[in-house]
Amino acid sequence: MKFGIPSRARAILIFVIVSALISIHYIKDGITAGGDPGFYGIYDLTTFLEKGIYLWNENLMGRPQLLIIPVIPWLGFLSLIRTILGLIVAIYIHWFLTFLISFISIYLFIKYLLTKEGFNEKYVEISAIVASFAHVLAPVAVAWRIGGNRIGTIAQNMLALMLLAALIISTRKNLRSSIKYLLIFTPIFVFFGRSISNPVVISEFIHMALIMLFIYRKNVNFKNTAITFVFVILMFLWLFLAIYYSIPAFTSYRATTLEVKGGFEKWFMDYIENYEGINAILLYPITFWIGLQGYNGYYLNPAIYLIWSVFIAIIVFASLYYLKKERRKSLAYGVIVYAIFVGLMLSPHLLWNAYLWIMRTIPPLLAFRMTFDKFHYGAQLGFTIMLAYVLVKLLPNIKKIALEDRYLAFKKSASYLIVSIIILAIFLGGFPAINGIAMEYPTKEGDPLFKADLSKFEDLQTIIEKLYLEDPSATFLYVPSTSSSWIKTTWYNGTDYAYYLPGRNVASSWGYYQYPSKLFSLLSSEDFIFNETKQENLLELFKLANIKYIIVRGDVDLKRLHFREINIGTLHQIPNVLFFIEKYGFEKVYEVGNGEFIPAIT
């Protein structure tokens, strides 16, 4: 205890300060956070309720559209904040609480595991804090989950917190204590458990099974364990709503992704060719849209890569050494989880034919087609446990010892060196988030694929921000597009400037799932220019979806687009939309490359 503040309170205070400072980066330049995406799903309370009622009443694919349910507490809370204090404050609170719950989740989970092993409380405290920073500010977390605003950020948060709740409930001495913790944790999950991606469900079951098998196998209180599984299942049901009722969006994505020349096998081979398996083991970003080339190539720096690789290697080999020597349950759990989830990330490499067969035989499993983004956070959690264990073993060696003993002197020096490498690697790995570097992608000069003037994107961004703030209900249509996202030329390969724009678009997860497949089907039609019925249907969809603005990327060489972003129909979108614009008299307002920024008919 220091200054009368308990260790846990000190740790949480540290996390509060760090989260507050990092979150400033996400509001310093308005809602786009200096190039990083802001959080533009935050409506004022009236709009939030209107959209909630719309989604609730909408009947889609034979069932009610209930996607709104899992996000009501969180986005409702942010909408209330926006109504009272404004959008910027709401965005700040979103990021602040996201970071804070991340740090606290990992800290409490790690501390609980190591405390159960009987380690010195002081070293457990330090190890848990360092491990929290390593987990939340790891390169993939920064480049993909934070910089890319991916929902996996939330999945990574919830994973540790849910496991912590399950562990605490499982090991209570009596039923009353279990129920008390059940009541404490449930509202936390309901509040933060907004729309989490489907692999969380699989990951949680794997983690829970391993916890029960390897950590509390001999001393589980079965009555309380039953309560634990009831709790976990209830949480799964809450999270699964966001998955099950997102199927329409997934279906439209699948339809456009697989209808490409060469079919699924060509798509999958293309994926594997671009996949860097070694980075799965190193828990490092990969080229395949996970952000390796983000932050203007920061993670491509050989020095950063080398230091991080040495860091991973030290922790893995040290963990295996300690596991063989001591056979501690918590370490065994970390090693096994790391191995299982890295194996899942590598499965397309190791079991290509079998993996391909499974994907094609059970279509819903296409959700796991990109194994890195689906299973990385499970591997990261396993590695974080390994890191914490290695730290709690090394820290006692750093205390003062007699230098006359050469072995102890060597042991102390080696421990100092390893801990220094750990701290340096964590700092360098999370530096873009710590320093507020914008999530920008480098361009390749002379590449004919990229022709746009970046300053025009910045001007366009400013215009869209203004329009969005004036009318948050307006919908933007980006052309060319798949039915799930606007094509940013070579976003996946990093040769384009991946620019995030604010505002709702027709592929937004917030709604209008019935429109994208119809809209993009019409827009991609080969006979669109000669078919007046399709033109009239498209105009009607514009009105139904409240599309007020169209942004056309005229600088994209569609024939050179990455395979995952294009289907045959995409090649027709630009000529079709330009014809549509001219026929219905849209006014040109802004150009992007050879394209236009155009207000649509309302």
Q: What six digits make up the tokens of 454?
A: 């970046």
Residue 234 lies in a domain: yes
| Domain co-membership, 381 together with 514 | no
Domain boundary among the residues 378, 399, 434 is at 434
501 and 427, same domain (yes or no): no
Same domain? For 479 and 426 the reply is no
Task: State the amino acid at position 310 in one-letter form.
Answer: V
Higher-pLDDT residue of 405 and 580 is 580
Higher-scoring residue by pLDDT: 432, 37: 432
2 within a domain of the structure (yes/no): no
CA dihedral angle for residue 190, residue 193, residue 195, residue 198, rounded to 10 degrees:
-120
Whether 484 and 423 map to the same domain: the answer is: no
Residue 449 in any domain: the answer is no
Q: 403, 434, 465: which is the final residue of a domain?
A: 434
**pLDDT, tens only, 457-502:** 566 667 776 776 777 677 777 776 654 444 433 332 222 333 344 4
As a whole-number percent, the residues of the chain with pLDDT over 90 amount to 12
Q: So what's the pLDDT on residue 221?
A: 67
Specify the pairing of strand 504-505 against strand 475-479. Answer: parallel
Task: Quote the pLDDT of residue 389.
Answer: 95
* pLDDT of the residue at 500: 41
Residue 368 sits at φ, ψ, to 5 deg, of -105, 20
* Residue-level pLDDT at 443: 47
- What confidence tens digit (pLDDT) does each residue in 61-80 have? 333 444 456 667 777 888 88
Q: What is the DSSP string of 92-119?
A: HHHHHHHHHHHHHHHHHHHHHHHHHTT-
Q: Which residue has the higher pLDDT, 154 or 353?
A: 353
595 domain residue, yes or no = yes
User: According to the model, what pLDDT value does residue 599 have?
Assistant: 53
Residue span of the structural domain in which 547 resides? 454-599
CA 577/CA 480 separation, integer angstroms: 9
Of the two residues 230 and 482, the one the predictor is more confident about is 230
Indicate whether 169 and 269 sit together in one domain.
yes
Identify the band that residue 230 occupies on the pLDDT scale cut at 50, 70 and 90: confident
pLDDT at 181: 80
One domain for residues 169 and 200? yes
| pLDDT tens profile 143-166 | 765 655 444 455 556 677 777 777
475: helix, strand or coil:
strand
Say if residue 400 is in the same domain as residue 518: no
Report the pLDDT value the prediction gives residue 295, as an integer from 0 to 100.
74
And the tokens for 556?
A: 């994209």
pLDDT at position 538: 86
Whether residue 275 lies inside any domain: the answer is yes
- Domain match, 424 and 473 both: no
Domain termination residue (choose one: 402, 434, 466) = 434
Q: Transcribe 244-266 into DSSP letters.
A: HTTHHHHHHHHHHHHSSTTHHHH
CB-count exposure of residue 421 (10 Å: 0-12, 13-18, 19+) = middle
Residue 488 and residue 553: Cα distance in Å, rounded? 9
pLDDT band at 531 (very low <50, low <70, confident <90, very high): very high
**Which residue in this structure is represented by tokens 């169209």?**
550
Would residue 444 count as lying in a domain?
no
Residues 423 and 561 in one domain: no
Residue 534 has pLDDT above 80, yes or no: yes
Q: How many domains does the chain have?
A: 2
* pLDDT confidence of residue 346: 81
Cis amide leading into 480 (omega within 30): yes
pLDDT score of 211: 74
Give the up-direction half-sphere exposure of residue 576: CA atoms within 13 A in the CB hemisphere.
Answer: 26
The pLDDT tens digits of the residues spanning 84-139 come to: 888 778 878 888 888 888 898 889 889 988 988 888 899 999 999 999 999 988 88
The answer to whether residues 459 and 488 belong to one domain is yes
Residues 211 and 334 in one domain: yes
Say yes or no: 221 and 99 in one domain. Answer: yes
Does residue 166 form part of some domain? yes
Residue type, position 381, single letter: L
CA 394, CA 388: separation in Å to the nearest integer?
A: 10
Residue 248 lies in a domain: yes
pLDDT tens-digit profile of 434-457? 887 666 555 444 443 344 445 555
Q: Are 506 and 476 in contact (CB under 8 A)?
A: yes
